[in-house]
Structure 1
């Protein structure tokens, strides 16, 4: 067992990550150990002396990647403004119960309070020397709260590009004036464990009432009639701009065509097909992600849905150029799907724990990529892209790049302080007809009308 140098923690060392075990002071038998993880901020301390904080890992969640990985720890630290060193204290066991159930709040609080008091000497020992220049510092104990009630891991696997991932069924509290339970299936990647990559609603197969069941007690089925990811609904709302054109396509007996760059669990593809009648092509770079989406999220190569494995940027370049794609994909071959799309929806990110989440990747903003995307859109087509700007200048640069290629730009603020949907149109919008627009009616029933009315020109 390695012995830590007593000077290890005397100074803030940006990005240093250290873990070790420590006897649990609340265990009278002195047999159980705690896992102690110490992470210094990658940025220079904003205050002098630097601020140190501690967090107790919620009971039975010590093996969750949020608390057991470097990237999860970093996200917790960066979510705590002004903190230069974050100390995580949790169970040292590598295993958690098969089904996690949130402990009753009263039971958990008393144990945590006792542990926090017992560990105060340790927290002080792990604080930089500069923290003591004005006396003994106060080390705040940060709390972690989310809406998770219970969870069950269905599978852990590894993708060639995305790395380790986990599929889990969860029960959450969706809040509101009256606390409401919902069951969902999630896909998360270890590289960004605090981020939910895909989330879909699930309901009991046998028609049990939600109040009568729990995770691990009954079988669930997917409910693809609703989108639960915060940015997917406004992305679909972008179709409002093309509604007159899409209605004309439908009236002429043609299914509207959508290209989805980035598939994940396939929630968006399934929704476009089942709820709005689109013919959909999806492109996903990692074949293992597609296997998971087929097994657990209902995605399949079936009528009106085609999924291709490959790089999204190379894919649209091929369509724009020789109109050839990967072997085994029918896009551009035959009459069932041509190379022109009525809408392109882009859900690509550049997620890294160190750089933070950013969407789209910088590569997508290159002019030749945008020109290729425009060339495979129909005359009145639209491109909707999920944008998570790391800073204001990134978003301004993105908009400037799109202005060079597309006729008009529109925006939807998702309202979560993180996502925007940028919508680019190839031609001036078609005027609304006096005739009833059945597609627009269907769209209004499928998603929240609030987003339909929040599209603004920029």
Structure 2
């Protein structure tokens, strides 16, 4: 029997509802859930002794069940005479104090301020079917009547799917009247993602509109709140638009959970879980399915907690890495969980307890309900990440300086731009005494330890906290190894080399060259003045007579040099500059830096025996082939060195094909340069082997 109307407009018709209840008969019809689904939110906002008006009651059992648990001052109204007659017959003797009245809710017959609660389950959604003028006028009359019959301090409790146009209309109406507006997600709707066949894909919300006494002589203060979970505190939001956005996020999350529950193989899916207290992102989840994994009893689903500070590693921070992690873990579905900066975490056990209920919404179809879901991690703890400084660059946006605890209990300092929060812009290892002081200070503060991730700074660092002899980034190590291509490695330390670095970051790359090649003069070009300030204040960078920083666009700087009458000549040119456009398949360098006309300018300022070294990060294979072809057209000799476990590739470009060295010759040259750099007093880091950086080089 099809009871659905031919058009949504029929929901507002008396004739439709009379026919609906005649055909439906006496069997109860529950919109948006039963009493058991809704009792949590109903008991939260309705007191047993309050006088309650239920509008559009239909033949739902909700009023009857409320009456039976102690809510006995209930008045029910509906536009359908058929359903009112049915409900009177059903309840006349069993519930004598509950009344049912045929009444149009746009013209109710009750005196002003008759009720403390008006309860609406799906009625507003049924009436507000579109945004045509006649529909909106009818809704205005309905909501005006709700406001009229409510006492000051009373509440309009509306159960709704919170479709965008319904939420917009309800919030606008009551906020304009000076009421407090709260949207509360119904807990039972959060659980539907766990059902094999959810009844409907959208979550259910309760609009809780509280009537305030009108304020004369001044504009009413507008209050907007969201309760994302039944036990969570309300989160205050700045505007009706932000409230609508927060509701939409919850709806999208519920839809996504439903999709993931029904089928696997949706590809890599990412989403944020927010704090119930602040509404700020607390966890970032990446859901990865491995279709190649054959299902067994215990390999359906697992959760992997990424320790703080390690979310930037390729294995956890890149889609390709997470796919490799999921495949090696041997689970059909793996959810990796990254912890957000600015949030406090007590430990692995508390994180597991907090996530257990939520992540089950992401379980794949077919997983046994009694199966335990394993939580996996690296090292067994949540890691240490201390935010030392927060700032904002007008050019590059918000950034943080943070210290993370890495291998061998050493601290590493990082510059992170929050527009790419899982990408380390710059990294440097702190000296051991700085790490020791930090640990010693924390022991003194044992009575009240700081959270594992906070804006509270570590103890004051020594004047030079950064270990300048250590290169953290593998691609920087490979770029330094490329200096072996200059030839005559035993003479390089005494050769007055001229080097150009485009892209300063924390300054570790130009600093390393400056400190290890005493005759070298370095020009560093950086477009963002804030980056130079960060490098100087937090990464131990300083300018000298051999190290100059030019605040300029690298494109303009090289174009100006190439166009000069007395062209500048560099023995080494290095590009280590990120793109600010996340839509491209190449994040380093910006596309303009590898245009052929610009590459010709780079060629013109490179000495005939020099080397041009480029850090390339490109996931688009077609685009990468185009970049390599362009470089090959300008620089006849091109070596490529892939960085293991990362997307980076280091390109070494030279002008003379006859300079080509076989792999064995490359290794011999690199070893000779390393022997020279290892001499006493050079501060060479023994963990860095130049020849290892050139082992996997191939010629294009």
CA shift at 1:199, angstroms? 1.2
CA shift at 1:169, angstroms? 2.6
CA shift at 1:281, angstroms? 0.5
CA distance in structure 2 between the partners assigned to 1:85 and 1:217 by the alignment:
38
The secondary structure found in structure 2 opposite 1:222 is: coil
CA distance in structure 2 between the partners assigned to 1:207 and 1:35 by the alignment:
30
Instruction: Confirm or deny: 8 A CA contact 1:349 1:357 kept in the other structure.
Output: no
CA shift at 1:272, angstroms? 0.6
Q: Which one of the candidate residues 540, 556, 569 is aligned to 1:298?
A: 540
Q: Does 1:397 align with 2:626?
A: yes
- What corresponds to 1:366 in structure 2? 595
Could you state the TM-score of these two structures normalised by the residue count of structure 2?
Answer: 0.48
Q: Which one of the candidate residues 522, 538, 550 is aligned to 1:280?
A: 522
Q: Does 1:169 align with 2:403?
A: yes
Structure-2 change in CA distance of 1:439 and 1:114 (3 Å)? closer
Q: Which one of the candidate residues 341, 344, 347 is aligned to 2:570?
A: 341
CA distance in structure 1 between the partners assigned to 2:632 and 2:603 by the alignment:
12
Q: Deviations over 1:215-241 (max 9, x none)?
A: 935634222122121111111100111
Structure-2 change in CA distance of 1:141 and 1:156 (3 Å)? farther
Q: Does 1:230 align with 2:474?
A: yes
The secondary structure found in structure 1 opposite 2:386 is: strand
CA shift at 1:373, angstroms? 0.5
The secondary structure found in structure 2 opposite 1:196 is: coil
- What corresponds to 2:501 in structure 1? 260
Structure-2 change in CA distance of 1:310 and 1:138 (3 Å)? farther
- What corresponds to 2:512 in structure 1? 271
Q: Does 1:197 align with 2:439?
A: no
The secondary structure found in structure 2 opposite 1:388 is: strand
Instruction: Give the structure, 1 or 2, with the largest relative contact order (CA under 8 Å, sep 6 or more).
Output: 1
CA distance in structure 2 between the partners assigned to 1:181 and 1:3 by the alignment:
45
CA distance in structure 2 between the partners assigned to 1:21 and 1:150 by the alignment:
20
The secondary structure found in structure 1 opposite 2:629 is: helix
Structure-2 change in CA distance of 1:438 and 1:155 (3 Å)? same
The secondary structure found in structure 2 opposite 1:396 is: helix
Structure 1: stretches of 5+ with no match in the other structure: 24-31, 98-102, 174-179, 324-331, 333-337
Structure-2 change in CA distance of 1:451 and 1:66 (3 Å)? closer
Structure-2 change in CA distance of 1:134 and 1:140 (3 Å)? closer
CA distance in structure 2 between the partners assigned to 1:89 and 1:234 by the alignment:
29
CA shift at 1:273, angstroms? 0.7
Instruction: Confirm or deny: 8 A CA contact 1:357 1:390 kept in the other structure.
Output: yes
Instruction: Confirm or deny: 8 A CA contact 1:406 1:425 kept in the other structure.
Output: yes
Structure-2 change in CA distance of 1:295 and 1:207 (3 Å)? closer
Instruction: Confirm or deny: 8 A CA contact 2:481 2:691 kept in the other structure.
Output: no
Q: Does 1:350 align with 2:591?
A: no
Instruction: Confirm or deny: 8 A CA contact 1:36 1:88 kept in the other structure.
Output: no
Q: Does 1:153 align with 2:153?
A: no
CA distance in structure 1 between the partners assigned to 2:556 and 2:461 by the alignment:
40
The secondary structure found in structure 1 opposite 2:419 is: coil
CA distance in structure 1 between the partners assigned to 2:280 and 2:399 by the alignment:
26
Instruction: Confirm or deny: 8 A CA contact 1:171 1:181 kept in the other structure.
Output: yes
Q: Deviations over 1:121-156 (max 9, x none)?
A: x445567xxx55788697956645489843332211
Instruction: Confirm or deny: 8 A CA contact 1:148 1:170 kept in the other structure.
Output: no
Could you state the TM-score of these two structures normalised by the residue count of structure 1?
Answer: 0.70
Instruction: Confirm or deny: 8 A CA contact 1:54 1:142 kept in the other structure.
Output: yes
CA distance in structure 1 between the partners assigned to 2:609 and 2:600 by the alignment:
15
The secondary structure found in structure 2 opposite 1:371 is: helix
Instruction: Confirm or deny: 8 A CA contact 1:245 1:380 kept in the other structure.
Output: no
- What corresponds to 1:328 in structure 2? none
Corresponding residue pairs, total: 397
Q: Which one of the candidate residues 484, 491, 498 is aligned to 1:247?
A: 491
Structure-2 change in CA distance of 1:2 and 1:450 (3 Å)? farther
CA distance in structure 2 between the partners assigned to 1:207 and 1:115 by the alignment:
31
CA distance in structure 1 between the partners assigned to 2:286 and 2:473 by the alignment:
32
CA distance in structure 2 between the partners assigned to 1:309 and 1:55 by the alignment:
43
CA distance in structure 1 between the partners assigned to 2:596 and 2:461 by the alignment:
48
**CA RMSD after TM alignment:** 4.7
CA shift at 1:353, angstroms? 6.1
Instruction: Confirm or deny: 8 A CA contact 2:410 2:432 kept in the other structure.
Output: no
CA distance in structure 2 between the partners assigned to 1:139 and 1:223 by the alignment:
45
Structure-2 change in CA distance of 1:243 and 1:77 (3 Å)? closer
- What corresponds to 1:28 in structure 2? none
Q: Deviations over 1:234-287 (max 9, x none)?
A: 111001110339938945xxx201000111010011111111122000111111
CA shift at 1:109, angstroms? 4.8
Structure-2 change in CA distance of 1:210 and 1:286 (3 Å)? closer
Q: Which one of the candidate residues 667, 686, 692 is aligned to 1:451?
A: 692
CA distance in structure 2 between the partners assigned to 1:116 and 1:66 by the alignment:
18
The secondary structure found in structure 2 opposite 1:191 is: helix
Structure-2 change in CA distance of 1:442 and 1:46 (3 Å)? same
CA shift at 1:37, angstroms? 6.2
CA shift at 1:84, angstroms? 9.2
Q: Deviations over 1:333-361 (max 9, x none)?
A: xxxxx711000011122366666763222
The secondary structure found in structure 1 opposite 2:466 is: strand
Instruction: Confirm or deny: 8 A CA contact 1:358 1:388 kept in the other structure.
Output: yes
Q: Deviations over 1:83-110 (max 9, x none)?
A: 999696979x95549xxxxx7xxxx454
Which is richer in helix?
2
Q: Which one of the candidate residues 419, 429, 437 is aligned to 2:659?
A: 429
Instruction: Give matches, 1:109-124, under 5 Å.
Output: 109-117=348-356, 119=357, 122-124=358-360
CA distance in structure 2 between the partners assigned to 1:17 and 1:222 by the alignment:
36
CA distance in structure 1 between the partners assigned to 2:333 and 2:580 by the alignment:
23
The secondary structure found in structure 1 opposite 2:598 is: helix
Instruction: Give matches, 1:21-60, under 5 Å.
Output: 21-22=275-276
